[in-house]
Structure formats: C-alpha cells, structure tokens
A and B are shown apart, each in its own frame.
Chain A
Amino acid sequence: MAKITENTRIEVKEIVIAFFAEECETDKSLITDKTNIIKDLDGDSLMFLELIEIFKKKYNLDIELKTIGKYAVKHPVETIGQLIEMQMLIIEHENRLLELDK
C-alpha cells in the first residue's frame, strides 16, 4: 500500500488538469474540481483509459483495468474532483481497491 502525501495529491491534480486541458483544448484555469468531464469537457472513456495508463506508469502501479472498472460501476466518476479522488485511491490501494467496499 503506497503512502499518500499532500505532495502526491498536488501532483495528481496537476497531471489530471494538464491532461484534460491538452486533450480537450481548454485553458487549465477553466478546469476545477467541479468541472463535469463529459458535459463540460467532452471527455470520453478512452481519455480515462489513457490517464490510467499514465498513472500506472508514473507510480509503477500493480492494478488491473477491470478492477478499476468494477470499482467505477459502484462509484461513478462525473467530475474532475471525483476523478482525482479515484486516482488517489488507485495509487494507494492498487489491486486491493475493491476491498474498500467490503
């Protein structure tokens, strides 16, 4: 289980916002925790997949995509803030993510 620090949170947030700003050709300053990924940014599941791959590589994560998918069914992500929270949980719990629901 990885130790999450305040720096990790800041780093994750920066990566997520920079990613969507580039992908969706939007100014970073317009993306906040409350920004809706689909309605406001035209985001899609391929972007979500790409972001997961970025974090898997960056933090050397051991997690299967379908573990994230199963978690997302119970905890749907709509906003940037929710996505950041989920990424934090993925980094912290990796393949034990589903144990959070037990």
Chain B
Amino acid sequence: MADKRTAFIFPAFIADYRDDPSGSIPRFSLVFKSLLARAAGFADNGLAGFHRDSNPMTGDELRNQYLSYVYSCACSDVLSVHGAKPSMIAGYSMGIYAALYTAGSISFETGLLFIRSAYESMRRILPGMQYGMGAVIGLSENDILGIFQDSGFSLSIVNRNSWHSFIVSGESPQLEAFMLKAREEGALSAKTLGVSVPYHTGLLKDAASELSGTVAGEELNDPQIPLISLLTRQVITDAQAARNEVIRNIFNPLDWFSTQIEMHRSGILTFTECGPSRALLKNSKFIPGAGKFVIWSSLAKNLPLP
C-alpha cells in the first residue's frame, strides 16, 4: 500500500560517492551488482569495470547516466523489498528513466535503451560545437537574464532549483564567459558541470525527434505510481503521457523548485532522494516550508525487512 505522504525522487547524474549511504544497507550491494551486470550485458560491457572508489566513471557522461540509473533502480528495488511504496515519483532531469522504472512503466532494459538513444541522438545532432551546462548560486533569475541580455549570450536557464540556484545551458564558449560575468556580478558560485550536451534546451529539439522513434518502438505501461512532470507540474498516469514526457524532457526547461512545492501542496510530506548523493536534500533547505527530505537509506532502515 502506498504511503500517501511520501515521494521518491531520482537524481540525474552522480557527482561523487562521498555521501553514498549504501554501505549501511547490506542488501543494496547484491541488488546493485545484479542490475550492473544486466546493464553491462545490455548496454555497455565497460560498465562491468565500475568500482565506486577506484573506477567510479563519473567523468564519462554516458556511463555516468547509466550508473546513476542503475543505482537509482537498485534503491527503488531495495525500498520495495522493505515495503516502501511512494504515492508519487519525480525524475530530476535524466532521473526520469529511473522514475518510470519504479512506476512499472518501463523495464530496466528499456530505461537503458532510452538513455543511450537520447544521448546518442543529442551528440549526433550537435557535431563540431562544444556545449555544456553550469550551476549558478547566489543570483536571481532576473540577474541572470540581465547578464544574458547585456552580454548578448544565447544561453538558457534550464532549471530553477531555488530562488538563488539555477542551471544554465548552451554553447561552451558563451557559458564560460557567462560564468566569469556571473561571479563579477555577485554569484556566490558559478561553475560548469561535467557535461557536453546542452540538456533541456531547444537546441535538442531534433534529437528529441530522433528519440521519439525509439520511444514509439518500446512497450510502456501506465505508471502505477503517479509521476509528476518537472516541465508542467502535471501528474502523469498513462503510458502516452509518459512517452511524451520522455521526449519533451530533453528539450524543455525544468522547474524543480515549483515541482517540489506542488508535490508538497498535493500532500507529500517526505521526499526520499534515491541516489548516492544528498544534492537534492541540500537544495531542499532553500525551498521553505516544502516538506522534509531524507536519503533513501534512512527510509530503508526505518522499514525492517518483512
């Protein structure tokens, strides 16, 4: 039975494993290894060489996405064994695939296929140019848009994490120039992220068109757990809407801040971050009055095995 007050949140990438709590949940390692072996067999046999400390693969963009997905699916499976069932789920950026897996909408392998297809489509339609993303903390949305305008940057704000935390996406030379300008204008932090694709911008519309062919050829079920859209805040409960969300997710901006507030407004009290870091938990401190964030392992500890 679903806990009406709990949501599972799935992150996009893995920055590092410094906060990884999985060692405290003995069953996790077994489940993770099993899913990793399936991912290596299906998508990329190089994944078999993953080691959290000696070969974390965080610098390899596609493998990072695969591993983030594998980790999140393992969290989800472990929590399910412990009897935890959320009443709502959300996938932060590329975390959408783990969210759909958790909702029973796609198989584990279909998620891997979508990740690969999306990434390869994005790389294919952007030959020759360098792109990236950056995180800016300490400026307002108007401050950032003002810099874009004054400097003639054709960059996009692609996510709002809080009133003072934004993700920017676009061509790398402009992005790097923007980061310097943002610091001059008073950003507490402005750093590029380790990605080469301008996720969630209109630049990827053609890639989304390519991805739609892959999505159309795969079986998707109606999500058994409502999935909230980070694009529109609409709750997705049918397969066709889930298909559309996978495709639109690539080239449309997100708004995590509004999504968390909307989830809380709809009755969610506890948000469970299903990944190795605490990035979303840390960010939640800047979304006042919008519920409590916990990491997945604490939920597993509180729900002993049946």
Contact = CB atoms under 8 A, between A and B. Distances in A.
Given A42-B18, A45-B137, A46-B137, A69 B286 contact: no
A28 B282 CA distance: 21
B143 interface: yes
Nearest to A64: B186
Contacts of B18: 42
B186 A65 contact: yes
Contacts of A49: 137-138, 164-165, 188, 286
A46 B286 CA distance: 9
Is the contact region of chain B dominated by helix, strand, or loop, or is it mixed? loop
B183 A45 contact: no
Nearest to A47: B282
Interface in A16-75: 42, 44-50, 53, 64-70, 72-73
Interface in B140-182: 143, 164-165
Interface in B265-286: 282-283, 285-286
B53 interface: no
A48 B185 CA distance: 17
Contacts of B187: 66, 69
A69 B181 CA distance: 12
B207 interface: no
B220 interface: no
A16 B144 CA distance: 29
A64 B140 CA distance: 10
Nearest to B18: A42
B189 interface: yes
A67 B138 contact: no
Judged by DSSP, the binding face of A is helix
Contact of A66 (B138, B283, B286): B138
Interface in B171-229: 183-189
Nearest to B137: A45
B188 A72 contact: yes
B143 to A, nearest CB: 7
A50 B138 contact: no
A51 B18 CA distance: 22
Contact of A68 (B184, B185, B186, B283): B186
B179 to A, nearest CB: 12
A65 B285 contact: no
Contacts of A70: 184-186
| Residue among A47, A49, A68, A73 with the highest chain B CB neighbour number at 10 A | A49
B143 A66 contact: yes
A47 B283 CA distance: 10
Contacts of A69: 138-139, 183, 185-188
Nearest to A73: B183
Interface in B104-144: 137-139, 143
Interface of A: 42, 44-50, 53, 64-70, 72-73
Given A46-B282, A64-B186, A69-B185, 15 more contacts: A44-B282, A45-B137, A45-B188, A46-B165, A49-B138, A49-B164, A49-B165, A53-B286, A65-B139, A65-B188, A66-B138, A66-B185, A66-B187, A67-B186, A70-B186
- Listed from nearest, the 5 A-B pairs whose CB atoms lie closest are A66-B186, A45-B189, A69-B186, A70-B186, A65-B138
